[in-house]
Amino acid sequence: MTPVCPFVKASRPDDGSSRKPGECTNKHAAEHEGGGEAKKESGGESATVSPKCPLGYDSQTFKLGPLSCMICQALLFDCSKCVPCSHVYCKVCISRFKDCPLCGADIEKIEADTDLQSVVDRFIDGHARIKRSRVDTDKEGEVGENKKVIYEDVSLERGAFLVQQAMRAFRAQNVESAKSRLSLCAEDIRGQIETAGNTSELCSQLGAVLGMLGDCCRAMGDAGSAVTYFEESVEFLSKLPAADLEITHTLSVSLNKIGDLKYYDGDLEAARSYYIRSLNVRRDAIEHHPSVSSQTLDVAVSLAKVADVDRSIGNEDAALDRFREAIKLLETLTLKPEEAGLEQRRLSVLEFLNNQLAEKRSD
Ligand SMILES: [Zn+2]
Ligand SMILES: [Zn+2]
């Protein structure tokens, strides 16, 4: 799953505003803010208060709380209590242990703790739902030195919070938990789209979250649902301008993931058509950003994927052309000093491509 949270990002090039991470990205709310921006820029006159959860469940300041599982370090899912020690974990998490990881006691049996789970569920349901779409002068509190206090919209925080919980659970292989949080998140964004329309911000968030849901289904071995989520992710990301690198990357990755699933399913023609779509998205991205080396690498990888399928279905000439094109791209790619981290990847893709060409010669 992508390590990038679609909610925690700096200003986007397509909306001209200059938000900081954690600030409101709800277009609907922004429309009504009016002079909000000017107030924030009045420097010493105002202080901005970031939303904070008293239990510590914020995307910036995460700490383990009474509603967390010590094993996956995310909020409890399928709460299960160890007998006799009474320590509580997610069912999936604790089922991998014979002794309680907290106290070391033998686990005689595990009992569902539905009461605690309903507390957790209510907490998640209500978390960061408050929306302050408008800053009214008379509602602003005053702190020392007569600074105005502006409370930020926390609707953004909810998305970041759910994605963070999902990523923690996913890393700890509690995929059901991750899927549940992401589903809530997708539901939230769909609700926002209903009121605000298909804004690029919301489409890119939903596209990313749907892609993560696809990753969950794939990890659970449910290829059919994974394809459905990836396709929906593609649908939303395709609505967006091709100039945004982050979006085109997510879009091309989703297309490749569908291609991979079709490939493993033995449907090579379908796999090829998704790989080609991904390749085209990446070629377009290069036209917009010719000097970004990671884009060139992405195109080379896409060429290799298409060539590989071409070879499998007997299109040997087309395959060789693409392998050669990819090799040429990588051989002429000069990395800037700040891109040194890409050199390893460039070399390994190049080695793969050269091996593919050599395979033909030895036939
Ligand atoms: Zn857990
Ligand atoms: Zn215990």
Q: Which ligand is nearest to the CA of 85?
A: 2
pLDDT for 316: 94
CA of 180 to the centre of ligand 1 (A): 13
pLDDT for 80: 97
CA of 20 to the centre of ligand 1 (A): 31
CA of 107 to the centre of ligand 2 (A): 8
Q: Which ligand is nearest to the CA of 70?
A: 1
CA of 164 to the centre of ligand 1 (A): 14
Q: Which ligand is nearest to the CA of 80?
A: 1
Q: What is the pLDDT of residues 289-340, one digit of tens each?
A: 888 888 899 999 999 999 999 999 999 999 999 999 999 999 999 888 888 8
CA of 82 to the centre of ligand 2 (A): 7
pLDDT for 126: 81
pLDDT for 149: 53
CA of 62 to the centre of ligand 1 (A): 15
CA of 101 to the centre of ligand 2 (A): 7
Q: Which ligand is nearest to the CA of 84?
A: 2
pTM (whole model) above 0.85: no
CA of 192 to the centre of ligand 2 (A): 42
CA of 204 to the centre of ligand 2 (A): 43
Q: Are 20 and 156 in contact (CB under 8 A)?
A: no
End-to-end Cα distance, the chain: 38
The H or E element spanning position 93 is: helix 91-94
Give, in order, the Cα–Cα distances in Å from 345 to each of 114, 348, 359: 48, 5, 21
Q: Which ligand is nearest to the CA of 101?
A: 2
Q: Which domains does the chain have, with CATH numbers?
A: 59-115 (3.30.40.10), 241-363 (1.25.40.10)
pLDDT for 224: 95
pLDDT for 197: 87
CA of 67 to the centre of ligand 1 (A): 10
**Which string of DSSP letters, residue by residue, matches 205-229?**
HHHHHHHHHHHHHHHTT-HHHHHHH
CA of 306 to the centre of ligand 1 (A): 39
Alpha helices in 238-342 (DSSP H): 245-264, 268-288, 293-312, 316-331
Q: Which residue, among 58, 50, 45, has the nearest Cα to 24 in the 3D structure?
A: 50
Residue 149 phi, psi (nearest 5): -110, 125
pLDDT for 307: 96
Q: Are 77 and 177 in contact (CB under 8 A)?
A: yes
The residues of the chain scoring below 70 in pLDDT are 1-63, 130-156, 360-363
pLDDT for 320: 95
CA of 104 to the centre of ligand 2 (A): 6
> Can you tell me the distance from the alpha carbon of 352 to that of 357, in angstroms, rounded to the nearest whole number?
9
Q: Which two tokens stand for residue 229?
A: 């989520």
> Can you tell me the distance from the alpha carbon of 188 to that of 27, in angstroms, rounded to the nearest whole number?
14
CA of 270 to the centre of ligand 2 (A): 51
> Can you tell me the distance from the alpha carbon of 74 to that of 72, in angstroms, rounded to the nearest whole number?
5
Q: Which ligand is nearest to the CA of 83?
A: 2
Residue 203: HSE in the Cβ half-sphere, 13 Å Cα cutoff? 18
User: Longest C-alpha distance within the chain, in Å?
Assistant: 81
> Can you tell me the distance from the alpha carbon of 252 to that of 257, in angstroms, rounded to the nearest whole number?
9
Q: Which ligand is nearest to the CA of 104?
A: 2
pLDDT for 275: 97
Q: Are 342 and 319 in contact (CB under 8 A)?
A: no
> Can you tell me the distance from the alpha carbon of 350 to that of 348, in angstroms, rounded to the nearest whole number?
5
- Looking up tokens 């033995």 gives 266
Q: Identify the burial level of 34 via C-beta atoms within 10 angstroms of its C-beta, where 0-12 means exposed, 13-18 middle and 19 or more buried.
A: exposed
Q: In the chain, which ranges are E strands?
A: 46-49, 79-83, 88-90, 109-112, 148-151
Q: What angle do CA 116, 121, 123 make, to 5 degrees?
A: 95
> Can you tell me the distance from the alpha carbon of 135 to that of 131, in angstroms, rounded to the nearest whole number?
11
CA of 100 to the centre of ligand 2 (A): 5
> Can you tell me the distance from the alpha carbon of 235 to that of 214, in angstroms, rounded to the nearest whole number?
13
Helix (H, G, I), strand (E, B) or coil at 99: strand
pLDDT for 147: 52
